């Protein structure tokens, strides 16, 4: 199976190169899922999840514009622009529709995509994310952008790693922390700042009540970047959604808890969500 992995690049309608990976399924008619990464990282955050889904679904991962190996033109970013990138990527690879799941920033993009292109989304996974960061979000996210510009990304490593991963995970997997810190440091500061501003301005709440596909909301119990309260708000606003809180995990559950995330996504792909009462404490 490994040798059939497809890696490629396509160019969006506004000339941004997007790097992507497609992992095949055993069954040519298997379900398809797109996985969207978080701020300042890249598609590699899904490696552990993809390994556990191997062969059971066709999996598309990609580096969002301004991230990883994709184009780094720091023009103003919006979630609508990122959603359009995904629509054009799906056109490029010939996927009319797919399940779409995103973590943190990726969840915001997934929500925007589901709101703008609902017929292309067979199911939606919202992981460690929110539809809206709050009244003071524009100010706070612009402050984070300014900090990155003034102090550099190296000055944010400790702040980010403690938000990303639980204390236990950081102490037991220092190599994972270091690997993701290197990805953070490789970012273009202007693109990072543009993405921060995008997240501060993002408000996907108008889409929530219109979503009709199966939706799974998942969050780490100790996530204080997008706390469980934000996931409860998503769950309460999206009719028929499920809510799962992963004990002891923080903000990057696809890396910290890949087995649980893969299990939740498989259930979503098969139309069987987790039971809120059993999963939530």
Residue 281 has pLDDT above 90, yes or no: no
230 is a domain residue: yes
CA angle 210, 211, 213 (to 5 degrees): 150
Please report the pLDDT score of residue 273 as a whole number. 39
What tokens does 42 get? 């890249």
In a domain, 243, yes or no: yes
Cα gap 3→170, rounded to integer Å: 32
Asked if residue 232 is part of any domain, the answer here is: yes
Please give the structure tokens belonging to residue 120.
């292309």
179 within domain boundaries: no
Render pLDDT for 27-49 as a digit per residue (tens, 0 to 9).
Answer: 878 899 999 999 999 999 999 99
pLDDT in tens, 112-170: 999 999 999 999 999 999 999 999 999 999 999 999 999 999 999 998 999 999 999 99
The answer to whether position 167 is within a domain reads no
Q: How would you classify residue 275: left for phi > 0, otherwise alpha for psi between -120 and 50, otherwise beta?
A: beta
Q: What share of the chain is helix, strand, coil (3-state, %, to 5)?
A: 50, 20, 35
Give the list of residues 6+ apart from residue 136 with CB closer than 8 angstroms, or none. none
Task: Judge whether 78 lies within some domain.
Answer: yes
Domain count, the chain: 1
Neighbouring-strand partners of residue 6: 22
pLDDT of 271 reads 82
Q: From CA 119, how far away is CA 228, in angstroms rounded?
A: 28
Strand positions, DSSP E, the chain:
6-11, 17-23, 32-36, 58-62, 98-103, 121-127, 215-220, 242-246
Residue 41: inside a domain = yes
**106 pLDDT more than 60:** yes
Q: Are 145 and 153 in contact (CB under 8 A)?
A: no
275-to-16, 154, 242 alpha-carbon distances in Å: 41, 41, 7
Query: What tens digit of pLDDT does each residue of 239-278 get?
Result: 999 999 999 999 999 999 999 999 999 999 998 433 333 3
In this prediction, residue 29 carries a pLDDT of 80
pLDDT at residue 79 is higher than 70: yes
For residue 62, being part of any structural domain is answered with yes
Average pLDDT over residues 178-191: 97
Domain that holds residue 261: 2-133+204-279
Which CATH number characterizes residue 76's domain? 3.40.50.1820
Determine the pLDDT at residue 274: 38
């Amino acid at each position: 199976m490994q040798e059939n992995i497809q890696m490629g690049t396509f160019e969006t309608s506004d000339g941004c190169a997007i790097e992507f990976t497609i992992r095949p399924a055993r069954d040519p008619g298997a379900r398809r899922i797109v996985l969207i990464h978080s701020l300042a990282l890249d598609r590699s955050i899904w490696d552990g999840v993809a390994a556990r889904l191997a062969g059971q679904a066709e999996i598309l991962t990609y580096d969002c514009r301004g991230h990883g190996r994709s184009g780094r033109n720091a023009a103003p970013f919006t979630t609508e622009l990122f959603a359009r990138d995904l629509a054009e990527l799906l056109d490029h690879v010939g996927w009319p529709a797919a399940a779409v799941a995103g973590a943190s920033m990726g969840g915001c993009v997934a929500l925007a995509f589901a709101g703008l292109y609902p017929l292309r989304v067979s199911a939606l996974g919202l992981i460690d994310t929110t539809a809206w960061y709050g009244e003071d979000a524009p100010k706070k996210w612009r402050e984070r952008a300014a900090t990155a510009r003034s102090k550099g990304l190296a000055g944010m490593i400790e702040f980010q790693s403690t938000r990303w991963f639980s204390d236990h995970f950081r102490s037991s997997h220092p190599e994972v922390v270091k690997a993701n810190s290197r990805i953070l440091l490789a970012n273009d500061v202007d693109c990072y700042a543009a993405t921060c501003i995008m997240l501060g301005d993002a408000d996907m709440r108008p889409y929530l009540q219109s979503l009709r596909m199966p939706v799974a909301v998942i969050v780490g119990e100790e996530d204080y970047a997008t706390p469980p309260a934000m996931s409860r708000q998503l769950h309460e606003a999206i009719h028929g959604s499920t809510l799962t809180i992963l004990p002891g995990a923080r903000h990057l559950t696809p890396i910290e808890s890949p087995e649980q995330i893969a299990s939740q996504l498989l259930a979503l792909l098969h139309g069987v969500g987790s039971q809120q009462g059993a999963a939530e404490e």
